[in-house]
Amino acid sequence: MRQLDPLSQLRLFENGNKPNGGGAGQNAPRFSCPAFASNKVLPVHRWVPWIAGFSRKFVQSGLERHLQRKGIVLDPFAGVGTTLVEANLAGHDAVGFEINPYAAFASRTKLQAHRTNLNLLRKTIEKFIRFHCTAIENAIDAKAGPPEWFRTRGEFYSPKVLHKVLLTQDFIGQIENRAIADLFRLAFASTMITYSNYSYEPSLGQRVSAGKAKIEDFAVEKEIAQKLNEMACDTLWMKEQLNGNNPKNNVIGRSFFDAYRSVTSNSIDLLITSPPYLNNYHYNRNTRPQLYWLGLVHSAKDLRALEHQNFGKFWQTVRESETIALDPIIKNEEIIESLNTLRKKNPEKGIYGGKGWANYATSYFNDCVRFARGAKWSLRRNGTALVVIGNSILQGLTIPTDRFLGTIAESVGLEMKDIHIPRTARVGNSIIQSGVRVGKATKGHHLYEAIVELRKR
């Protein structure tokens, strides 16, 4: 079975591109592009495909720029753990908050992987392949069943694929070592869409709707084993990088808004994060398969609870509400006027017009206030926050979310040091061309990605 060499992958993507050393100032390394794409082939980060997030190199450049000695790094919206993993690899302690149980599980599994018994992992992979071959050859029925409340409009797995998936669940249920069982669970969860009749386009939908054929059969066990072999290879690499060091890490499965006081006040040296953008991408709905199949949620009620904890809620959650009031601490005229303009757009469309989207945008900026207060609580004096965020276009109105976030942060007492724009063009036809989200996009509308640099005075 093919094993990829992560060191070769690193050389391929990073040779000649490593930022120069040095602190902030004229000789400080430039911020690398935060786009997540390069992570898809890099050690540990490649374990989980993720629609959003930022690159390993961006986090490295932030750490090199702002932490010249061991410190504590915080990511309030940790996702699948890019910031936390890189902070630990650089020798820093790390703490993250993440409300999506699947993403939190992925982060914890990555952070603890270096403790894995690799000999036992490889033996378990071999045993897994033999188990599958025996079960298929002898037409053995699986004992496990699909999650009871997981529903899709079309057939999620074809019968032959489903049988192999359920055999995988049987095998994982027999693994006694918790760390290895978690690696198997993550390998399954990260590959499960590959052999399903669904795909990300970029949101989760049926393959046939995207013009793709249904998958009638698939070598499920080989796909999972390949992922596990990558994990084994990367875990060895991680052990070598840490070289016996064991920095602390903690992933808190709660909303940062509600639980930031669990972080000691004035204790964080550097905050690196990327909150959900003002684009209504529904992380919870798009991870429904993983959440249900891993047993992390059990009903639609569980998913609704997550929606209400999300940064900015979701358009679907707030569109029918009465006019949502802007937090009174936000007094910036440009923000207020933008929301008023948005609210008046396309009134004939009802909740699909400006009113519904203005409620969503207002909720988003109210949560920017909550985020800024949490950041101020957490950061030590002169501590820095690097916030990766993209602008947005709603109902044909361009909203400079980066500037608005910086202004809101200043209103709670943080200092906006700078706004860096390392990515001047961002692909986003699902945002720009969506008839629900916008009017007709013009050449003047474009998406970019910014890094808002804040400091606690």
The predicted pLDDT at position 30 comes to 60
The predicted pLDDT at position 37 comes to 60
Residues of the chain with pLDDT > 70, as a percent, come to: 87
Could you give the C-alpha distances from 63 to 71, 352, 386, 389, in angstroms and in order?
10, 42, 10, 18
Q: CA triplet 202, 205, 208: central angle to 5 degrees?
A: 115
| DSSP-based three-state secondary structure for 273 | strand
pLDDT digits 0-9 by tens, 175-184: 999 999 999 9
Cβ pair 225, 1 in contact under 8 A? yes
The rounded distance, in Å, linking the Cα atoms of 237 and 247 is 16
Question: What stretches in the chain show pLDDT beneath 50?
Answer: 1-29, 429-442
The rounded distance, in Å, linking the Cα atoms of 401 and 287 is 25
pLDDT digits 0-9 by tens, 76-133: 999 999 999 999 999 999 999 999 999 999 999 999 999 999 999 999 999 999 999 9
The predicted pLDDT at position 34 comes to 60
The predicted pLDDT at position 55 comes to 86
Say whether pTM exceeds 0.85. yes
